[in-house]
A = this chain, B = another copy of it.
C-alpha cells in the first residue's frame, strides 16, 4: 500500500513509518519539524539525541535496505504543497499524527493555546479538503485522544452513544468534556472529520488513544543508536510512566499530581503501532466515520507510580513517591469505565505492562542518566493560572 505518515518525525510517527516500510509498503513521511522547535522553546530535549529526519531515513536504508520518502511541509500553512503531494503520491492510507501533542504546552499562554488549535484544527481541515480534491478514496487514520471524553459518570462508548430521551431514541456522538486546549483541539477535529465524511463521502477512523509508554519497537531494536524514537520525560511532552522511570533512575521522588486517583487508559508504543496496522488493514466504507478507543489497560496515576516503585526496588533503587499540588484542573477521584472492544474484535493482542518492561526501561534510563535535565521534570504550567 501507499501509506503517508503525517508527523513521521515524532515519537509515534517514526516507528510507525519503519513498521510499514519493512513490511513492503511504500511509505512517505510528512513533517513540518515544528515539534523540534517546540521542544527547544520548552527546554525539553529527548533523553537521547534524535538524528534529523533525513539521517533517520538514511540509517533506515542502511539497516533495512528499504527507502522511505520525506516531504517537509507544514500542512496547516502550506495547503498548495499538501494538495500537490496527495495528488502525486496517491496514498491509500493517511496516518495523521501531525499535531501539537501536549496538553501542558497548550496551557502555557494565549499564544500557545491559539497555536495548538490553529495548528491542529487548520492542519486537519486542510487535509480533509486536500483528500476530497486529490484522493477521496484514501482512508484517514486520525490520532485522537481518550481525553476527548473527559471523565463522565457513565460508561464511555466508542465515539457514539445510543440515547433514549422522552421516549425517543437516537445514536449520537458521545458528549465530550475535554480538559485542555490541546484536548479541545482534538474534539474540534473529530467534529470536522465526521462532517467531511458525511458530506463528501470520505472514510476515516478516529483513534481515541490512551497514554502511550515505552521506548522500543521491533524496528528500533534493529539498531537502537541509529533508529531509536524520541523519549520525552519532561513535564510538557513526557507521559506519566516515562517520567516516573526517569525520576526513579535519578533517585528523586516520583511526582504524582494531587491524589493520583486520576484514572486513564494506557498502552505500549508497540500496541499503538499494532492498532494502527489493524485499522489500516480494515478500512471503513465510503462516508463512514468510525471511532476506536485505543488502549489496553487502565491504571490510576498512583498505581503507575507504585508499579515503578516496585520494579525499582527489584533493581535495588530506593524509590519514593511525592504527591504534589495538581497543576491541572481534573477530577482526582472519579468513575472511569471506557469501552474498548472494537480493536480487540479486529484482532488486537495487548501487551500488558509487565514489571520486566518497567525494569528494562529503568535500566536504559540509568545508563543515560547523565543526560537528564532534572529541572524539566517538574510542572511549571498551571491550568488555573496564566
Contact = CB atoms under 8 A, between A and B. Distances in A.
Interface string A322-339: 000000010000010000
Interface string A133-166: 1000000000000000000111100000101111
A184 B175 contact: no
A175 B173 contact: yes
A110 B176 CA distance: 26
Give the interface residue-count category, chain A: 35 or more
B172 A172 contact: no
Contacts of A178: 191, 195
A367 interface: no
A176 to B, nearest CB: 7
Interface in A68-119: 79, 110, 113-114, 117-118
B153 A126 contact: no
Could you say which of A169, A181, A199, A329 has the most chain B C-beta atoms within 10 Å of its C-beta?
Answer: A199
A340 interface: no
B176 A191 contact: yes
Nearest to A155: B166
A132 B192 CA distance: 28
B175 A154 contact: no
Interface string A165-209: 110111011111111110010011001100100111000000000
Given A121-B188, A152-B172, A191-B176, A383 B165 contact: no
Contacts of A152: 170, 172
A23 interface: no
Nearest to A132: B386
Contacts of A164: 154
Contacts of A154: 163-166, 168-170, 172
Contact of A169 (B125, B153, B180): B153
Could you say which of A113, A117, A195, A386 has the most chain B C-beta atoms within 10 Å of its C-beta?
Answer: A195
Contact of A329 (B161, B174, B179, B198): B198
A33 interface: no
B153 A125 contact: no
A376 interface: no
Nearest to A162: B165
A122 B329 CA distance: 22
A117 B110 contact: no
Contacts of A117: 121-122, 125, 188, 192
A20 interface: no
Nearest to A166: B155
A100 to B, nearest CB: 14
A257 interface: no
A87 to B, nearest CB: 14
Interface of A: 79, 110, 113-114, 117-118, 121-122, 125-126, 129-130, 132-133, 152-155, 161, 163-166, 168-170, 172-181, 184, 187-188, 191-192, 195, 198-200, 329, 335, 383-384, 386
Given A117-B122, A154-B172, 10 more contacts: A114-B122, A132-B386, A155-B165, A155-B168, A163-B165, A176-B191, A184-B188, A184-B192, A199-B329, A199-B383
30 contacts: A79-B110, A110-B125, A113-B129, A114-B126, A117-B121, A117-B125, A117-B192, A118-B118, A118-B122, A125-B181, A152-B170, A153-B170, A154-B163, A154-B164, A161-B175, A163-B163, A163-B165, A163-B175, A168-B335, A172-B175, A173-B177, A174-B175, A175-B175, A178-B191, A179-B195, A180-B195, A181-B195, A187-B191, A199-B383, A199-B384
